[in-house]
Amino acid sequence: MPVDEARSLPRLLAGVLGQPASLAEHRARYGATPPGAHLLDELEAAGLTGRGGAAFPTARKAAVVRAQRGHAKVLVINAMEGEPAAHKDRTLLATNPHLVLDGAAALARAIGAARVVVAVARDEQATARIVRQALGERERQDRGLTLELHTPPWRYVAGEESALVHWLNDHQALPQYRPSRPSILRVAGAPTLVDNAETCAHVALIARHGATWFRAVGTAASPGSTLVSVTGAVARPIVVEVALGTPLRAVLQAAGADPEPQAVLLGGYGGTWLAASHLDTPLANEALGPLGASVGAGVIVVVPTDACGLRETLRITRWMAHESARQCGPCAFGLPALARDLQAIVAGGPDAPAAITRLTERSAAIAGRGACRHPDGVVRLVRSALEVFAAHLDTHRRGRPCAVGARRPVVAVPELEPEEDLVWQ
């Protein structure tokens, strides 16, 4: 493939018309599903990392599962997208479902899996219908593979891969304690590879075009393109495809977002706030790491200059505390305490200085002590907010009215459900 063509974008969203392509349309555009021979070597050379948030090398993760002897294997496409600010996997499945399924089929053959499970959140009925139709079209096409759709309940932690596997086994969407990673997850006793929908779509393209094509965009350390969900101070929530290494400011421009925001939340609700002074930073982990940030699940939430970042952080923290699995002390007790401290700070008054001290101490006590990474993400969010919104913090500490406190909320935070209505099964 010519270099200029390889560098062109979009890739995953190429030819998207706003409606799902049929299998016939997909095959006319992309050709037949690649066989998967030598796929893991090609993925290793491509440097593809998972697009679900952890950014673990895809080839290495798949090789760990393939190396398990004497067992059938299972491949799970994780399209749960529990992050409320994310909608890239839904967009991808709503437009290019067969690209995702092509990648899954190729990966399944490469690791020796005969069963492919697609997991879509129960609330996303439109997406589930599209996937069900696509699976029906492929029933006689993907010989040797069993293709299934499962719809676990939508919860923030239900998309974490160990929680998803737990639900597939026992219908309990709760994270499992894993002291080391990668660890072998199992569905019905079979070694299981879990990759998110975008990752599978990249696999399909790499299988067709090769590692050199994939690396024609991006950086040496972070090759390829990625999908980014941009929400907040935008005309409408949007998904854009950009080359990794694109400056954050250019991503915002591509999304039609506020070009001069106060800050952005990078990586989702468990991510990191970055001040506007960092908007020329490339969207790549090697550039974001020194700032305590990462690409994460490919989410950017834009906060304008006339919003109070601490109020927005409080709303997120309160919801994240409510969404925890309550399986360990940091989630059950620590996160609600963080939300109460933030509430006292935002309210101002004489307790605000003491609340800031408590918040700092509790954050240190919670970090790294959860059974899963959920509390770590909330701590990261809160700590970065205290830094980036230091001017607002000083206003609240003094008990003075917040100059931007009356503005309508910017971040789309779901309503808190009554405790008795929380569904994990």
Residue 379 neighbours by CB under 8 Å, 6+ apart: 338, 363, 366, 367
Question: pLDDT for 79-111, tens place per residue?
Answer: 999 888 999 999 999 999 999 999 999 999 999
Question: pLDDT for 407-422, tens place per residue?
Answer: 678 888 888 766 545 5
Question: 3-state DSSP call for residue 199?
Answer: helix
Q: Please, are residues 196 and 107 in contact by the beta-carbon 8 Å criterion? A: no
Place of tokens 């039609």: 256
Beta bridge partners of 148: 117
What is the spatial distance between Cα 15 and Cα 32, in angstroms, rounded to a whole number? 17
Alpha helices (H) along 256-303: 285-288
What single-letter DSSP state applies at residue 159?
Answer: G
Question: pLDDT for 169-183, tens place per residue?
Answer: 998 877 776 555 567
What is the spatial distance between Cα 322 and Cα 55, in angstroms, rounded to a whole number? 26
For 3-214, the fitting CATH number among 1.20.140.10, 3.40.50.11540, 3.30.360.10, 3.90.1150.10 is 3.40.50.11540
Q: Please, are residues 402 and 396 in contact by the beta-carbon 8 Å criterion? A: yes
Question: pLDDT for 40-67, tens place per residue?
Answer: 999 999 999 999 888 899 999 999 999 9
For residue 352, what are the CA distances in angstroms to 113, 235, 308, 390? 56, 35, 16, 14
What is the spatial distance between Cα 377 and Cα 369, in angstroms, rounded to a whole number? 12
CATH 1.20.1440.230 domain residues, the chain: 309-419
Q: What is the pLDDT of residue 409?
A: 84
CATH 3.10.20.600 domain residues, the chain: 225-303
CATH 3.40.50.11540 domain residues, the chain: 3-214
Confidence of residue 16 (pLDDT cuts 50, 70, 90): low
Question: pLDDT for 122-181, tens place per residue?
Answer: 999 999 999 999 999 988 777 788 999 999 988 888 888 888 889 899 988 777 765 555
Place of tokens 């929680």: 163
Element (H, E) at 166: helix 161-170
What single-letter DSSP state applies at residue 15?
Answer: T
What is the spatial distance between Cα 251 and Cα 247, in angstroms, rounded to a whole number? 7
Q: What is the pLDDT of residue 1?
A: 43
Residue 362 token pair? 């509790």
pLDDT over threshold 50, residue 317? yes
Tell me which fold the domain 225-303 belongs to.
Answer: Ubiquitin-like (UB roll) (3.10.20)
Residue 202 neighbours by CB under 8 Å, 6+ apart: 12, 48, 51, 58, 103, 214, 224
Alpha helices (H) along 258-308: 285-288
CATH architecture of 309-419: Up-down Bundle (1.20)
Exposure string for 39-74, b = 16+ CB within 10 A, e = fewer: bbebbbbbbbbbbbbbebbbbebbbbbbebeeeebb
